[in-house]
Structure 1
């Protein structure tokens, strides 16, 4: 029997570096408390403090700038509620299977981030005309065995994304300083893109005049459609339209009568406009009831459906989300060699007794 007030745990995928899933099926809030926010790391946690923390902006700029943490916190702030989803979320569901952390459905979380628009910081340095990309480097680093060398975690953004007013350098999460394991003291937040772009523990920002060639840009976080070669590869960027059933659990036993089915849906472009549910393996679909869909840019939408069932037996439940950009979850995912961007129609099975 579950004890009153019992709480779920994160699901551990790896200990060193630490990679843990959010217990997404057991959380009902649209804001995830930081103890339940999923953890995705490539390297051990860096050793740094905020005591002597400075953020340089260098490279192809008119005037290199060095910001203190206090400088940044005294600038006009912006608050954004946004989904952060690992691009490998649901990797475990790909068929045929792919290598990598075998995330199930919990490499996703959501909360409220407060910080300064990256555009505001970049404007202070003056951007030279030949600048093409902005490289954001974190303090975390380590050895990559595939390259037999040590690298820092670094990613680039094209100028149009870096200068978008909603791309922010965040210093708070849910009204408190960002927890150390999630990027304290400063973390980049790129709403609408998979979370590999939201670099933690920012060390420096550099303008360059070409495409960034770091391994986390050109080897990892790339869609490889072919199993044996790199032809037709292209980068991972925006979040695909997606949905997850939170209640009931897969393979759960239900009673006849009224059962409430609940879940979330999200997208990286526009807003969620519809979540359909099917009990006949996709032959017919019925709309679910959406919550907060009208003001949910960058956020997931909670949905629910009241299911009255009188016949005992085994059932397949499927959900399919659509967004305002006319994107719809596919029946089958776009298979790729590294297992990114899984967004096929969500499916569970239940038994009614």
Structure 2
């Protein structure tokens, strides 16, 4: 190989807007390098000005005001290792197929986010007793399919989640300023929720006294269980328990002998307590070795299993994770019209020669 390092690349799903998957099968670090962090956009990238170095807070507050970038940097900060997963990750696996970006397994990445607790910032302005939800507006905007006017990307959080001390306004990733493509100068980070909640290029925060009904809240990022009806719909929020087999890669050809099977597992409710593997299509299960990051409540767990294979043939390998709340990956996914939250048992097939 002439001593040259082989490096992976992002996998492009679309260019306008830019949506690219992380090379998740080849990432073994707790902190995804920014160049390998997946990219998910609804619109083209915003054109930033000096105006975007201020965050405006308004609505049901006692003292509406602006916070400048330097002021936020001067406030007490905290750092958290948090994975961000697109709600459409693994969408390609749904049967029947659903419309939307056909993400495989790489719409997830993890790193160290540093910023200021949103709770601390809101204490500076004082919430009205009428406050019910908090709306976050990014600097990115454009035309949503079926709409004629430009709209910003905008989402809300209930008070309880917004005021959790680990919901932060981040300005660093892996100890460096946020990259432009991942939200510079400010990005909301909402641990345990799918990444649509972690609004990029955060520019405005508005406290409201009712339920927010913007299109990215009540149309997109909603589970629709029925193909031709909105009946029984409910919002996308907490991450499902999930796992990925990173190595070997699906449809690999292996030699007879000993192989390490490895991957990651994550959840939005509690922590990963078990990772099991099956080599007989779910009839029996074997426990993998879990490795969790100490003192990091939100980080994914890595796992590994030493597999000794003595016979040639084709093998299906399944993985399923279980979390401390008792949730376990199901054999079949919860099908929904927009293809969110896929977390069925992860499967690969390999051939041994």
TM-score of the superposition, structure 1-length normalised? Answer: 0.98
Query: Contact 1:50 / 1:185 at 8 angstroms: preserved in 2?
Result: no
Equivalent residue, structure 1, for 2:119:
119
Q: Which moved more, 1:5-14 or 1:293-302?
A: 293-302
Aligned match of 1:180: 180
Contact 1:82 1:111 in 2 (8 A): yes
Q: CA deviation at 1:145?
A: 2.4
Tell me, in whole angstroms, the C-alpha distance in 1 between the residues paired with 2:179 and 2:326. 37
Residue of structure 2 in register with 1:26 after alignment: 26
Deviation, structure 1 residue 56: 1.0
Shift of 1:294: 5.6
Question: Could you say what secondary structure the match of 2:141 adopts?
Answer: strand
For the residue of structure 2 that corresponds to 1:106, the secondary structure is: coil
- Take 1:311 and 1:185, find their aligned partners in 2: how far apart are those partners? 55
Measured after TM superposition, the shift of residue 300 of structure 1 is 0.7
Find the aligned partners of 1:294 and 1:21 in 2 and give their Cα distance: 27
Q: State the match for 2:244 in structure 1.
A: 244
> 1: CA distance between counterparts of 2:87 and 2:22?
14
CA deviations 1:183-207 (Å, max 9, x no partner) are 0000000000000000000111000
After TM superposition, the structure 1 stretch with the greater mean CA deviation from structure 2, 296-305 or 74-83, is: 296-305
**Distance in 2 (alpha carbons) for counterparts of 1:351 and 1:295:** 39
Number of residues of Structure 1 aligned to a counterpart in Structure 2: 353
The DSSP-based 3-state class of the residue aligned with 1:123 is helix
**Displacement of 1:51:** 7.5
Q: Which residue of 2 aligns with 1:77?
A: 77
- Aligned match of 1:152: 152
Q: How do residues 85-104 of structure 1 correspond to structure 2 at under 5 angstroms?
A: 85-104=85-104
Given that residues 273 and 293 in structure 1 are in contact (C-alpha distance below 8 angstroms), is that contact kept between their aligned partners in structure 2?
no
1:220 lines up with 2:220 in the alignment: yes
Instruction: Write out per-residue CA displacement over residues 117-160 of structure 1, whole angstroms, 9 at most, x where no aligned residue.
Output: 00011111110011100000000000112122211000000000
**Do the aligned partners of 1:266 and 1:301 also contact (CA within 8 Å) in 2?**
yes
Structure 2 distance, partners of 1:320, 1:171, is 35
Q: Scaled by the length of structure 2, what TM-score is found?
A: 0.98
Match of 1:106 in 2: 106
The question of whether the paired residues in 2 share the 8 Å contact of 1:13 and 1:103 is answered with yes
- Given that residues 138 and 201 in structure 1 are in contact (C-alpha distance below 8 angstroms), is that contact kept between their aligned partners in structure 2? yes
Q: Alpha-carbon deviation of 1:3?
A: 7.2
What does residue 163 of structure 1 align with? 163
- Whether the 8 Å contact between 1:63 and 1:126 is mirrored in structure 2 is yes
Shift of 1:112: 0.1
**Distance (whole Å) between structure 1 residues aligned to residue 91 and residue 2 of structure 2:** 30
The C-alpha deviation readout for 1:287-317, integer Å capped at 9, x for no partner, is: 0001126644211100000000101100000
Change (3 A) 1:204 1:51: closer
Change (3 A) 1:2 1:213: farther
**1:291 maps onto 2:291 in alignment:** yes
Determine the structure 1 residue equivalent to 2:282: 282
2:253/2:351 contact within 8 Å kept? yes
User: Alpha carbon RMSD of aligned pairs, Å?
Assistant: 1.3
Unpaired runs of 5+ residues, structure 1, are none
Q: 1:132 is matched with which residue? A: 132
| CA distance 1:78–1:304, shift in 2 (3 Å) | same
List structure 1 runs of 4+ shifted beyond 3 angstroms.
1-4, 49-52, 293-296
Query: Distance in 2 between the 1:347 and 1:19 partners?
Result: 24
Give 3-state SS (helix, strand or coil) of 1:343's partner: coil
Residue 239 of structure 2 aligns to a residue in which SS? coil
Other-structure match for 2:338? 338
CA deviation map 1:90-112 (0-9, x unaligned): 00000110000000000000000
Give 3-state SS (helix, strand or coil) of 1:220's partner: coil
Aligned to 1:348: 348
Say whether the 8 Å CA contact 1:272–1:293 is kept in structure 2. Answer: no
Tell me which residue corresponds to 1:211: 211
Q: How far apart, CA to CA, are the structure 2 residues paired with 1:116 and 1:2? A: 46
**Partner secondary structure for residue 114 of structure 1:** strand
Classify 1:51/1:206 alpha carbon distance in 2 versus 1 (closer, same or farther; 3 Å).
closer
